């Protein structure tokens, strides 16, 4: 039997233990009109993601916002089950843990809309999960996505040295029409060039998915370089 971890969602009116499956995270806000989940990059959990979660929850009533600790990572809110934190870790097992966590939260909270934001490695895992577990997410926002993992590793290291990792582009054809996908890529992002997201979105569009590409001028790879663009898309998709 799996060991489940929980986080407490505090509110003035009531408290609710939100089921995260086998992952951990930081919860802000209350209500189930929207459930917004934020997936950090490969640098690990960071206060910047938690701060953004607070701002979204504060600005949008009846919305629960979760800054989730991805599989294998350890943060101030606890360690999540998983393997290879930060190295060749977009594995089938880790992606299944992420999908299980999203499914657990959805079943528990029963939100009107589940919106998931993935940055960098979080975007890579999200981009795979929405194809490998179709229908689990209503809106997926991918920021700085290494959407073709083998080519991204060649770009970064001269060879594909991540043999265990799954790649989003291999699952793009399976994204259902019920899921809106928006990929945001900065022209100045030298870590994940725009071409990786463009390829992914093109495959998804050809297969009939509701997929959009937002190519921005300038900007780097860090969360701070993507936060404003992500927020603009999020505000358009909140109920």
Average pLDDT, rounded, for the chain: 93
pLDDT value of position 81: 97
Which pLDDT score is estimated for 15?
41
Residue 204's pLDDT band (boundaries 50, 70, 90)?
A: very high
- Residue 178 above 90 pLDDT? yes
Give residue 16's pLDDT: 57
Give the pLDDT of residue 228.
Answer: 98
Calculate helix-pair angle for 47-59, 223-237, nearest 10 degrees: 20
Compute the distance between CA of residue 157 and CA of residue 151 in angstroms, rounded to an integer.
Answer: 10
**What residue ranges in the chain does DSSP mark as E strands?**
6-9, 16-19, 24-30, 34-39, 63-69, 74-75, 78-79, 113-119, 139-143, 180-186, 210-216
**pLDDT tens for each residue of 39-89:** 999 999 999 999 999 999 999 999 999 999 999 999 888 899 999 888 999
Range with the poorest average pLDDT among 13-22, 110-119, 188-197: 13-22
Give the total residue count for the chain. Answer: 239
């Amino acid at each position: 039997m799996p060991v489940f971890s929980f986080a407490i969602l505090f509110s003035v009116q009531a408290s609710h233990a939100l089921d995260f499956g086998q992952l951990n995270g930081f919860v802000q806000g209350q209500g189930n009109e929207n459930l917004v989940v934020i997936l950090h990059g490969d640098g690990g959990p960071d206060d910047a993601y938690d701060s953004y979660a607070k701002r979204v929850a504060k600005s949008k009533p009846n919305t629960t916002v979760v800054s989730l600790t991805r599989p294998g990572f350890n943060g101030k809110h606890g360690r999540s089950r998983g393997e290879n934190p930060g190295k060749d870790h977009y594995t089938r097992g880790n992606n299944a843990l992420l999908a299980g966590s999203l499914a657990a939260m959805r079943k528990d909270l029963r939100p009107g809309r589940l919106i998931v934001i993935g940055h960098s490695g979080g975007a890579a895992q999200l981009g795979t999960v929405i194809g490998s577990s179709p229908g689990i997410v209503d809106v997926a926002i991918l920021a700085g996505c290494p959407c073709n993992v083998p080519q991204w590793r060649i770009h970064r290291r001269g060879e594909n040295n991540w043999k265990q990792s799954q790649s989003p582009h291999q699952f793009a054809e399976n994204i259902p029409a019920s899921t809106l996908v928006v990929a945001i890529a900065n022209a100045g992002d030298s870590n994940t060039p725009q071409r990786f997201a463009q390829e992914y979105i093109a495959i998804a569009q050809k297969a009939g998915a509701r997929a959009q590409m937002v190519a921005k001028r300038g900007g780097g790879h860090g969360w701070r370089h993507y936060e404003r663009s992500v927020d603009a898309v999020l505000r358009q998709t909140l109920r």
